[in-house]
Structure 1
């Protein structure tokens, strides 16, 4: 198990994070450039080595109901990787995290493109915007009603 000081040193390697002293000798690290409301990457890192890293948007880690992973028993590489993945997860837009770019065709060989963008899902005929939708399901339903199917 890494000591408190070793964990601090690893986390401080990430220039994007800002150290914040909190009560009882604990430390938080904030990611001010987060694209989301979530800015606290490292939460309540305690001198006894216990602490949490936000991984609510990262796959492969057991998280609590707040998306936090307990890092008490993490090794150096494991901690470094988790912090990096947490920063990346809060740096990417939903369209970057889960991109959608699909071609849809109808019986007349006309094609439309369904694309996930910042504000939702857009349907294009060449470069002309045909429709904007809040969800993939809404966009797919529109395309199906218009006689298109995914290629």
Structure 2
């Protein structure tokens, strides 16, 4: 588990976040550029190492009723990826209604595309398109986020993955 100081240092490395000290030694980090009502990316980071990162707009994370995922046991890379994905999700405008006028079901399915990628050792990753970004998952864990399919595909191929099927 990362220490409180290590987590603080990691969050402070994101220039988009603003630190806010709150009661009992806890710290929040806000993203003022959020396009959603939600501004807290990091919530109640406690000196004991506990705390939460907003994952309410992300798939693959267990969250509370307010959309926060516990960060107590995440390692540095997992925490960095979750924080970056949280900021990216809050940077996108709120989703349009599910059925947009003139948009066919097939077009909506293509927009929410999923593909499974495997490497020579049998490791599998899932690439999902959600709200104009591409997310790469290993099981339930978010590995990376990409701005385009081409960027995601290039990364996967460089890492030795190929589309399954």
Give the structure-1-normalised TM-score. 0.65
> What's the offset of the Cα at 1:59?
1.1
Instruction: State the partner residue of 2:79.
Output: 79
CA distance in 2, matches of 1:85, 1:36: 15
Which residues in structure 2 correspond to 1:98-117 (within 5 Å)?
none
Mapped contact 2:35–2:94 kept (Cα < 8 A):
no
Which residues in structure 2 correspond to 1:11-50 (within 5 Å)?
11-50=11-50
Give deviations 1:53-87, integer Å, cap 9, x for gaps.
Answer: 00000111111111000100110000000000000
CA distance in 1, matches of 2:64, 2:98: 27
Q: Spell out structure 1 runs of 4+ moving beyond 6 A.
A: 148-151
Say yes or no: does 1:62 pair with 2:50.
no
Instruction: Tell me how large the CA RMSD over aligned residues is.
Output: 2.3
The number of residue pairs the alignment matches comes to: 107
Q: Which runs of 5+ in 2 are unaligned?
A: 108-165
Give the structure-2-normalised TM-score. 0.60
> What's the offset of the Cα at 1:136?
1.4
Q: Give 1:136's match in structure 2, choosing from 73, 87, 99.
A: 99
> What's the offset of the Cα at 1:15?
0.2
Describe the SS at the equivalent of 1:20: strand
Describe the SS at the equivalent of 2:43: strand
